[in-house]
Structure 1
Amino acid sequence: LLPAYKLTITAKSKIIIILFLVPEVCRYKRPKNMPPGPRGIPFLGIIPFVGMNPEQAFMQWSKKYGPVITVRMGRKDWVVLCDHDTIHQVLVKQSTVCSGRPKIPIVSELSKGHGILFADYCEKWKSQRKFGMKTLREFGVGKKCTEDRVLEEVDFLCNEIRSKNGKPFDIQDIMCNAVSNIIMNIVIGRRCNYDETFFTDVISRFTKCLEITEQRWVGLYSGVHLLFYMQFEILYCFFRKEVFEEVIKEHEKNFDGNNLRDFIDAFLLEMKKNESGSEFTYIQLLNYIRDLFDGGTETTVSTSRWAILCMLHYPETQKKLRNEIMTIIVKGPNTPASMSHKSDMPYTCAFIQEVLRFRTLVPLSVPHKVNEDATVNGYTIPKGVTVSPNLWAVHNDPDVWDEPSKFKPERHLDDKGNFVQSNHVIPFSVGPRHCLGEQLARMEIFIFLISMIQKFEFLPDPNEPDLPEINHGTNGAAFVPLPYKIVANQI
């Protein structure tokens, strides 16, 4: 009887295995005419083989399969775009087809389809995007009044740096205060004192979000950009449940439709104009605020930290920057910087563009989704497939950049020393879903950087002789520098 029993169990096991594997094998087959690429193994796809830098693995595979490849991420096919022309062809020329967002259960559950960053491409999203761009312009983004706000914040930033009295410190929290205050000014209509309870609450919670999502995680890509959605969940709960509800209630109490003070007021006006069946709702406002802070803070803070770390590793760049700044702003360190100086500072522009190229903050961007069948390079991308633009590959393309792994600001200057703007540096992505706050971020990075270099000399912490390697960072929701301390000597 015992042998018969064993045979029965074995037969059942085989049936179970077959029933389990056959559907997976069917799914494992690549749909007809999709781009080529590695398949990996059933259930996991290529996840075990990409390590902590999947953008680099994808670029290597593109050398074999071509600039557009299909990879199996877990149990789903992704299409990865690995050069500038392909990204432009898909995200710009076929923008209406390829500007969706993949549906992620946790995001859908928490946001109910609201917000702007992760919302799918539809009429509602287009309406919200249009409102956001229009409102940001009306409240000064790209105009002199926003430049004045940034310059006002520079004074507070530099005073905080000055208060360290030449002792080592980590600039991340100080930068986060300054950059967040610019967003705060636009959203709630005023800047906050750094020690104000409301503001410290916002910053402490936001900093904790960054700390969590900037850790190294194994299994970073399990069919989705996992850390994007972890950060999304934390920020959603943080903004929705506590911090900004009281601010919105206060705005509602003092609302005057003829005197709009800020982004919240502009949104409340839309709510009152379209009360029935409108996409302008309370929950949409909370999600919008979250996206503005999330997208508008980390980009500038992390780029500034990368810029300072590059200066510490390459001291000659800081000298060149300061010489150019002092030559153009001839009245000395107390004369405010201005966007009007930008055209006269080719090396400074080249340095910033090289930082944006050299250390790509979001190497695979935020994932897109194809809303209907698309064609690229003769291949078919079926409706519903996730598309990931490999911005890192564009920034490290050896056919475009000489020695791309090296930090060389001079590569962005022509023979006469003039700055050359490159369309192959696309840290904010391209197409309809490029970063909403790109213009503001570029202004902040320029003014904050030249203002700090104008007033301080940055040196490594003498107590920590080993700086973090310039090629290493935290592989979380964004690629940001490892923690480091600096000394700022006043000029």
Structure 2
Amino acid sequence: MNMSWTDCCDCTTAIFCVAVIALCWYIFKRPENFPPGPHGLPLVGYAPFIKNNMADDFMKMKKKYGSVMSVQMGREDWVVLNDYDTINEALVKQGEKFSGRPSNFLFELVAQGRGIAVVDYGQTWKTLRKFGLKTLRGFGVGKKGMEENVIEETPLLIEKLTSMDKQSLHLKLMLGISNIICRITIGARFEYTDKRFLRLIEILGSFFGDNSDAKMLGLIVAAPMVRFVPPFSGSMKRVLKEIDDFIEIFRTIIEEHESEFDENDTRDFIDAFLKEMKSKGKNDPCFNKLQLLHYIRDLFEAGTGTTSSTLCWAILCFAHYPECQEKIAKEIEITLGEDGIPSMKHQDEMPYTCAFIQELMRHRTLVPLGVFHKTNEEATLNGYTIPKNTTVCPNIWSVHFDPNLFENPRVFRPERFLDRDGKFVKSNHVIPFSIGPRYCLGEQLARMEVFIFLTGIVQKLRVVLNPDKPVPPFDVGVFNILSYEAPNFDVIFEKR
């Protein structure tokens, strides 16, 4: 029997509908016993529904989906861990299973599978991590020698903060902070007017600052497909140029070290790595020039971004809560006077300052979802099955704002970390540097820098509001690639 045109159309429509249903089933299908959570849209997933702070959105979903949930981002399903016990179970108790790094278009573009931050868990990472810890300790991280470097940089940073040039506050802070990691990695500090140094800081600021490209990069990480669509495509083009310039500067610095290399005189991290390269010979998977290039890049980024951003939040906090600033100033006056030099030995005598720093790191969580993890093998968590190669996000933000751990967590209150006698109480639930095998390599250095720079600044300067430039709210930040940054703002620094 001959089919009519209408019958053919109906048949084609039915086939098309079945194909669409099958495609949607394939896209949205999740493994058996996988954690529950929202799907979103094909190709981009839940990314279009994310507001300013992805981690805060995920935390609010905990009520519906639980401590272990999933969310489709781009074309893959992430598993989000929404409380301390779950994060501790995964990253510490099952650290071997949860310490991988997922493959992501943007991270691959920058790191090319090398360095230390985004390299997958395995023997190469273990070897490089062990070398990094040993070498950083050898150059004074956590020791008095490194403390002296921070102390020496403090008055230079204070002078920069009071200068009348048009550089942003965040850039000024990055210049001072970055010189500490430069002393370790490159063996020298830069003058704040050095063109090469300024270019490095400028590029770093474009990745992590309060600007449109940084915000778009955050969405590209979540849904890589959008990189082909304007305005994301334009942002990607600019980022590629910045990455090339960034890498080329470090390549030149390494070549300068090679030309002056003396294995009997190890001046810095680069020299130590070159020495290891020589002892291992050619074609070593861990110790080669490309690994060195990206290792130095990782250390520079991590050693500059988090500490400068923490200090930026601290200064914005002082603008909103001048009483916090004056309490720190009072402790400094009692402990150091006008001319005493702040050092780590003074921490025990400055409990409010320590409480302020811990509350700042809790309330303004800089890396709300940590650096993404990946399962190296199938794992079980809270009764759910997490397949191998699943992206896992430890939601540190949800820990820091957990009302079961912190009373009125949305309120900024340093006193929550002081006991009845006024002594500082360290909290194991404040985890800005993450936990487990992949906790931040530079945690000791970052804590030292924040304490010494912060006390040094408050000892000499008072943060005052600029009547012509209102400051943004303290409780709303800018979420970009991985970090939660203070919005751009300006204040006046008066000498005490």
TM over 0.5: yes
Pairing partner for 1:437 from 434, 442, 456: 442
Once the two structures are superposed, the pairs formed by residues 100-139 of structure 1 within 5 Å of their partners are 100-108=100-108, 111-139=111-139
Query: Which residue number corresponds to residue 149 of structure 2?
Result: 149
Query: Which residue number corresponds to residue 467 of structure 1?
Result: 471
Query: Which residue number corresponds to residue 85 of structure 1?
Result: 85
Task: Quote the Cα distance in structure 2 between the aligned partners of 1:371 and 1:423.
Answer: 26
Query: Which residue number corresponds to residue 258 of structure 2?
Result: 252
Report SS of the residue matched to 1:244. Answer: helix
Query: Which residue number corresponds to residue 359 of structure 2?
Result: 354
Pairing partner for 1:198 from 196, 199, 222: 196
Once the two structures are superposed, the pairs formed by residues 61-460 of structure 1 within 5 Å of their partners are 61-108=61-108, 111-164=111-164, 170-211=168-209, 212=211, 213-215=213-215, 219=219, 222-223=222-223, 236-240=243-247, 242-278=248-284, 279-330=286-337, 332=338, 334-460=339-465
1:259 CA drift (Å): 1.0
Task: Quote the Cα distance in structure 1 between the aligned partners of 2:278 and 2:225.
Answer: 37
**Structure 1's 294 and 169: CA in aligned 2 closer, same or farther, altered over 3 A?**
closer
Task: Quote the Cα distance in structure 2 between the aligned partners of 1:175 and 1:58.
Answer: 31
Q: C-alpha deviations, 1:343-363, integer Å up to 9, x for none?
A: 111000000001100111111
Task: Quote the Cα distance in structure 2 between the aligned partners of 1:153 and 1:10.
Answer: 76
Task: Quote the Cα distance in structure 1 between the aligned partners of 2:172 and 2:441.
Answer: 24
Task: Quote the Cα distance in structure 2 between the aligned partners of 1:446 and 1:336.
Answer: 12
**Structure 1's 239 and 467: CA in aligned 2 closer, same or farther, altered over 3 A?**
closer
1:199 CA drift (Å): 2.0
1:313 CA drift (Å): 0.5
Q: C-alpha deviations, 1:43-74, integer Å up to 9, x for none?
A: 54433433232222221221222211122223
Task: Quote the Cα distance in structure 2 between the aligned partners of 1:53 and 1:253.
Answer: 46
Is the 1:52–1:220 Cα contact (8 Å) retained in structure 2?
Answer: no
**Structure 1's 208 and 50: CA in aligned 2 closer, same or farther, altered over 3 A?**
closer
Residue type at the aligned position of 1:15: I
**Structure 1's 185 and 15: CA in aligned 2 closer, same or farther, altered over 3 A?**
same
Report SS of the residue matched to 2:69. Answer: strand
The 10-residue stretch of structure 1 (55-64 or 197-206) with the greater mean CA deviation from structure 2: 197-206
Is the 1:374–1:381 Cα contact (8 Å) retained in structure 2?
Answer: yes
Residue type at the aligned position of 1:161: L
1:33 CA drift (Å): 1.7
Task: Quote the Cα distance in structure 2 between the aligned partners of 1:309 and 1:479.
Answer: 14
**Structure 1's 105 and 20: CA in aligned 2 closer, same or farther, altered over 3 A?**
farther
Is the 1:168–1:486 Cα contact (8 Å) retained in structure 2?
Answer: no
Is the 2:106–2:220 Cα contact (8 Å) retained in structure 1?
Answer: no
Report SS of the residue matched to 2:98. Answer: coil
Is the 2:78–2:393 Cα contact (8 Å) retained in structure 1?
Answer: yes
Report SS of the residue matched to 2:222. Answer: coil
Report SS of the residue matched to 1:80. Answer: strand
Task: Quote the Cα distance in structure 2 between the aligned partners of 1:299 and 1:320.
Answer: 24
Task: Quote the Cα distance in structure 1 between the aligned partners of 2:344 and 2:239.
Answer: 33
Q: Give the unaligned 5+ runs of structure 2.
A: 228-234
1:30 CA drift (Å): 2.7
Task: Quote the Cα distance in structure 1 between the aligned partners of 2:13 and 2:131.
Answer: 58
Structure 2 length as normaliser, TM-score? 0.91
**Structure 1's 40 and 133: CA in aligned 2 closer, same or farther, altered over 3 A?**
same
Is the 1:169–1:487 Cα contact (8 Å) retained in structure 2?
Answer: no
Task: Quote the Cα distance in structure 1 between the aligned partners of 2:351 and 2:181.
Answer: 28
Is the 1:24–1:43 Cα contact (8 Å) retained in structure 2?
Answer: no
Q: C-alpha deviations, 1:151-180, integer Å up to 9, x for none?
A: 11102112223434xx99842121111011
Report SS of the residue matched to 2:422. Answer: coil
Task: Quote the Cα distance in structure 2 between the aligned partners of 1:216 and 1:158.
Answer: 33
Over the aligned positions, Cα root-mean-square deviation in angstroms equals 2.5
Task: Quote the Cα distance in structure 1 between the aligned partners of 2:355 and 2:207.
Answer: 32
Is the 2:52–2:478 Cα contact (8 Å) retained in structure 1?
Answer: no
Report SS of the residue matched to 2:19. Answer: helix
The 10-residue stretch of structure 1 (21-30 or 341-350) with the greater mean CA deviation from structure 2: 21-30
Q: Give the unaligned 5+ runs of structure 1.
A: none
Residue type at the aligned position of 1:189: G
Is the 1:209–1:235 Cα contact (8 Å) retained in structure 2?
Answer: no
Residue type at the aligned position of 1:282: K
Is the 1:38–1:71 Cα contact (8 Å) retained in structure 2?
Answer: yes
1:188 CA drift (Å): 1.0
Residue type at the aligned position of 1:190: A
Task: Quote the Cα distance in structure 2 between the aligned partners of 1:256 and 1:381.
Answer: 49
Task: Quote the Cα distance in structure 2 between the aligned partners of 1:189 and 1:374.
Answer: 43
1:412 CA drift (Å): 0.7
Task: Quote the Cα distance in structure 2 between the aligned partners of 1:108 and 1:306.
Answer: 30
Is the 1:370–1:383 Cα contact (8 Å) retained in structure 2?
Answer: yes
Structure 1 length as normaliser, TM-score? 0.92
Q: C-alpha deviations, 1:300-343, integer Å up to 9, x for none?
A: 1110010111111011111111001110113x2x3211111011
Is the 2:100–2:375 Cα contact (8 Å) retained in structure 1?
Answer: yes
The 10-residue stretch of structure 1 (426-435 or 71-80) with the greater mean CA deviation from structure 2: 71-80
**Structure 1's 238 and 10: CA in aligned 2 closer, same or farther, altered over 3 A?**
farther
Q: How many residue pairs are counted as aligned between the two chains?
A: 482
Task: Quote the Cα distance in structure 2 between the aligned partners of 1:57 and 1:434.
Answer: 24
Is the 2:364–2:484 Cα contact (8 Å) retained in structure 1?
Answer: yes
Report SS of the residue matched to 1:335. Answer: coil
Report SS of the residue matched to 2:463. Answer: strand
Task: Quote the Cα distance in structure 2 between the aligned partners of 1:225 and 1:365.
Answer: 23
Is the 2:74–2:225 Cα contact (8 Å) retained in structure 1?
Answer: no
**Structure 1's 204 and 220: CA in aligned 2 closer, same or farther, altered over 3 A?**
closer
Is the 1:236–1:290 Cα contact (8 Å) retained in structure 2?
Answer: no
Q: C-alpha deviations, 1:92-137, integer Å up to 9, x for none?
A: 1111110001112454355432111111111001111111111111
Runs of 4+ that moved beyond 6 A: 224-227, 229-232
Report SS of the residue matched to 1:442. Answer: helix
